[in-house]
């Protein structure tokens, strides 16, 4: 028997540095901490744009004019209602099911209610992108209501994407500031190069499967604590730390036990993640406006202590989104789903881009197992 075991070099682990697709959707300048959607810097979009406008930008490559924006807003509103049968499917799930599992299940099931779900023509893909992007907030809010034993609410045509989600979740129209904070968070999370969930979506799309399958793959990938799931872990950490006087001991202990601290570190950024800087400011403002600055202050102290312990490990987008969402009254297991409400716009843009110039994604693996092993009949095995 020969053994072909060869150690994979570290560069192959996690596909670091491998270019697996060409994209014109977003670009991360990791050295300088800059992020661009279709060439426009994220800070400008966060300042001036809306999530709906950003969606258009990602899907069509340029900002919309008034008419184009109005059309997209109307299309999204028209698609917000989810089928009653889909709500019934969610109602069958145990109330203990976490929201990301519900979302993944519902997205997959949604395909059954769309006549041409397997159609991968460019027109159908855009139609499906609108359907999915419009449905995500409704699915997630519906689950929040079902889980709490409340009636599922119908969407409101007079509200924007962010405000309507908060309304469908809480049963109250949010104030303008809360809606705008969520709107900005949605802009910030919309796309981010070839991150794990986007890659998952593109791999599935590359088999010419369909939009719904691609997005189901992406939701599953986003859920992990190393990816979108990190914002929920950050909140759990904040709850665990509890008070300022425990920050140092808590972090020192975590470091001594070689724990990874959620909300820190990134494969691409070597400088501060620009989204995190915007969210830091928003978290502070939201805390002050709601007379609840504890979570921002705790986060800031953790960031400062981590700066002493691990000076080269900057915060990422998930760090200050946790305290922001918490003060807005959003339950912890809705943090990653909110990430998904935003990122579905980027995922769908990538599926459209992948299918427009497709080749099946089929990388190689480096075999490290044994060779020429003889088949031993079951009775002769030890």
Ligand X SMILES: CC(C)(COP(=O)(O)OP(=O)(O)OC[C@H]1O[C@@H](n2cnc3c(N)ncnc32)[C@H](O)[C@@H]1OP(=O)(O)O)[C@@H](O)C(=O)NCCC(=O)NCCS
Whether 210 contacts 45, CB under 8 Å = no
Q: How far is CA 194 from the centre of its chain?
A: 12
Using rule CB under 6 A, residue 81 touches ligand X: no
Query: Among 266, 273, 333, 350, which one carries the catalytic annotation?
Result: 266
Which residue, 193 or 263, has its beta carbon nearer to ligand X?
263
Least separation in angstroms between residue 264's CB and ligand X is 4
- The residue nearest ligand X at its CB is 265
Binding characters for ligand X, 1-20, by CB under 6 A (x = yes): -------------x------
Query: Contacting ligand X (CB under 6 A), which of 135, 316, 321, 336?
Result: 316
Site for ligand X in 275-314 (CB under 6 A): 310, 313
Orientation angle between helical segments 176-189 and 51-60, nearest 10 degrees: 20
- What are the angstrom distances between the C-alpha of 311 and each of 45, 270, 274, 297, 308? 29, 11, 17, 19, 6
Query: Contacting ligand X (CB under 6 A), which of 53, 210, 303, 318?
Result: 318
Using rule CB under 6 A, residue 189 touches ligand X: no
Least separation in angstroms between residue 316's CB and ligand X is 4
Least separation in angstroms between residue 288's CB and ligand X is 25
Q: Is the dihedral of CA 39, 186, 126, 208 positive or negative?
A: positive
Using rule CB under 6 A, residue 260 touches ligand X: yes
Which residue, 170 or 233, has its beta carbon nearer to ligand X?
233
- Rounded to a whole number of angstroms, the CA Rg of the chain reads 22
Using rule CB under 6 A, residue 144 touches ligand X: no
Using rule CB under 6 A, residue 266 touches ligand X: yes
Query: Among 29, 118, 227, 272, which one carries the catalytic annotation?
Result: 227
Which residue, 87 or 277, has its beta carbon nearer to ligand X?
277
Using rule CB under 6 A, residue 261 touches ligand X: yes
Site for ligand X in 206-235 (CB under 6 A): 226-227, 230
Least separation in angstroms between residue 337's CB and ligand X is 16
Least separation in angstroms between residue 273's CB and ligand X is 7
Number of residues interacting with ligand X: please give it, by CB under 6 A: 17
Active site residue 266: yes
Give residues in contact with ligand X (CB under 6 A).
Answer: 14, 226-227, 230, 260-267, 310, 313, 316-318
Known catalytic residues are: 227, 266, 318
């Amino acid at each position: 028997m020969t053994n072909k075991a060869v150690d994979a070099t570290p560069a192959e682990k996690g596909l670091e540095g491998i270019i697996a697709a060409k994209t014109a959707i977003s670009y991360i300048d990791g050295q300088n901490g800059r992020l661009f959607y279709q060439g426009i810097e994220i800070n400008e979009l966060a300042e001036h744009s809306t999530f709906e406008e950003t969606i258009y930008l990602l899907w069509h490559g340029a900002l919309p004019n008034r008419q184009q924006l109005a059309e997209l807003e109307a299309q999204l509103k028209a698609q917000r209602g989810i089928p009653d049968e889909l709500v019934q499917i969610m109602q069958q799930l145990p109330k203990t099911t976490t929201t990301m599992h519900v979302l993944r299940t519902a997205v997959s099931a949604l395909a059954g209610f769309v006549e041409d779900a397997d159609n991968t023509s460019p027109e159908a893909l855009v139609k499906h992108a609108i359907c999915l992007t419009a449905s995500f907030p409704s699915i997630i809010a519906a689950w929040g209501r079902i889980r709490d034993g409340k009636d599922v609410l119908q969407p409101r045509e007079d509200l924007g994407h962010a405000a309507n989600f908060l309304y469908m979740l809480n049963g109250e129209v949010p104030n303008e500031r809360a809606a705008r904070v969520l709107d900005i968070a949605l802009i910030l999370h919309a796309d981010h190069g070839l991150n794990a969930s986007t890659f998952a979506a593109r791999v599935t799309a590359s088999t010419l499967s369909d939009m719904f399958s691609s997005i189901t793959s992406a939701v599953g990938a986003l859920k992990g604590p190393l990816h979108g799931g990190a914002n929920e872990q950050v909140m759990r950490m904040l709850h665990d730390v509890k008070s300022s006087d425990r920050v140092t001991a808590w972090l020192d202990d975590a470091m001594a036990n070689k724990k990874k601290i959620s909300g820190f570190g990134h494969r691409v950024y070597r400088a501060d993640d620009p989204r995190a800087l915007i969210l830091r400011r928003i978290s502070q403002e939201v805390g002050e406006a709601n007379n609840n600055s504890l979570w921002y202050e705790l986060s800031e102290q953790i960031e400062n202590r981590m700066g002493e312990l691990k000076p080269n490990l900057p915060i990422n987008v998930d760090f200050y989104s946790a305290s922001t969402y918490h003060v807005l009254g959003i339950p912890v297991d809705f943090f990653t789903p909110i990430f998904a409400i935003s990122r579905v716009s980027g995922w769908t843009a990538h599926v459209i881009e992948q299918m427009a110039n497709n080749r099946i994604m089929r990388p190689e693996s480096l075999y490290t197992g044994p060779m020429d092993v003889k088949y031993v009949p079951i009775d002769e095995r030890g």
